[in-house]
Amino acid sequence: MILFVKLLLAHLIADFLLQPNRWVIHKEANKAASKYLYFHVLLHFAITMLLLWDLNAWKIVLVITISHYIIDLAKLYANPLFKLKSIPFFVDQLLHIIVLYCCAYYGNLLENTISIFTQMDWPLVTAIVFVSFPSAIIMSKLLEGMSSQINFDHKSLPNAGKYIGIIERLFVLVFIILGRWEAIGLLITAKSVFRFNDLKESNSRKLTEYILIGTLISFGLAIITGILYTQL
C-alpha cells in the first residue's frame, strides 16, 4: 500500500504542483514538438525516484515515465476531438492511476484486485450511488407537478440544482455515518442563507414553497439512506 501511496504522491506533485500553466498551453499548442512535454516527463521520473529513494526501483519508475509520456501525448492529440475538455482530462488521470496501481502491485496484481472487490463495503457503495443520480431522478418525478406551476425567470447554470442536491446528500450521508448530526443542521442553515437573496428578489410564495419542499425531500432521502446503512 505504501508503494502505491508514494507513486500517487509523486504523480500529484509532478502533474499539478510543479507543472506551470504555460507548460500546459505550450504542450497543447505544439504537442509532440513541445519541449515542456519532455521536461514534464523527466520531472515525473525525478520526483518518483526521489520519493521512492531506492535505485532498485528504477525499472518501475521507467515504466511509469514511458507510460506517462504515451498517455499525455495521446491526450494532446485527442483534446480537439472533445467539446468538454474535462473528459480527456479525467480519462488521462484515470489511466495514470491505473498504471501506478499496476506497477505498485505487479507481483500480485490479480490477487490484490480480487481482495479489494471482496472486502469492499457494498452497502456503502449502494448508499452513495442511491443518493446521487437515482435520488435526483426520484425528486424530479415527485416535484414534476409543482415545477410546471412555477416560472423560473432567473438565469442559472445548466443542471446546477441537480448537482447541488447530489453534493448536499453526499455530505448528509457522510455526516450520518460519522455520527455528526449537528453538521446537517449547519448545512441546512448554510443553504438557507445562500437561497435567501434569490427568494427575497423573486418574492414568489410558490417558488419558496417549491424550494423548501425540494430541500426537505433531498435531505430526507439522504437521512433515510444514512439511517438504513448504519442500522442494517
pLDDT digits (tens, 9 = 90+) for 160-198: 889 999 999 999 999 999 999 999 999 988 887 776 666
Assign 99 to helix, strand or coil.
helix
Task: Band the pLDDT of 25: cuts 50, 70, 90.
Answer: very high
Instruction: Calculate mean pLDDT across residues 132-150.
Output: 86
pLDDT over 70 (residue 202): no
Count of all residues that appear for the chain in the document: 232
Burial class (CB in 10 A: 0-12, 13-18, 19+), 218: buried
Confidence of residue 88 (pLDDT cuts 50, 70, 90): very high
pLDDT at 200: 58
Q: Is the pLDDT of residue 108 over 60?
A: yes
Q: What is the mean pLDDT of residues 89-117?
A: 95
State mean pLDDT over 203-232. 87
> Helix/strand/coil (H, E, C) string of 64-111?
HHHHHHHHHHHHHHHHHHCCCCHHHHHHHHHHHHHHHHHHHCCCCHHH
To the nearest 5 percent, what fractions of the chain are helix, strand and coil? 85, 0, 15
pLDDT of residue 210: 80
- How large is the greatest C-alpha to C-alpha distance in the chain, in angstroms? 70
Q: Name residue, grid cell 500500500.
A: 1
pLDDT at 203 over 60: no
Cα–Cα nearest to 102, from 219, 200, 3: 3
pTM value > 0.85: no
Cα–Cα nearest to 12, from 46, 47, 36, 39: 47
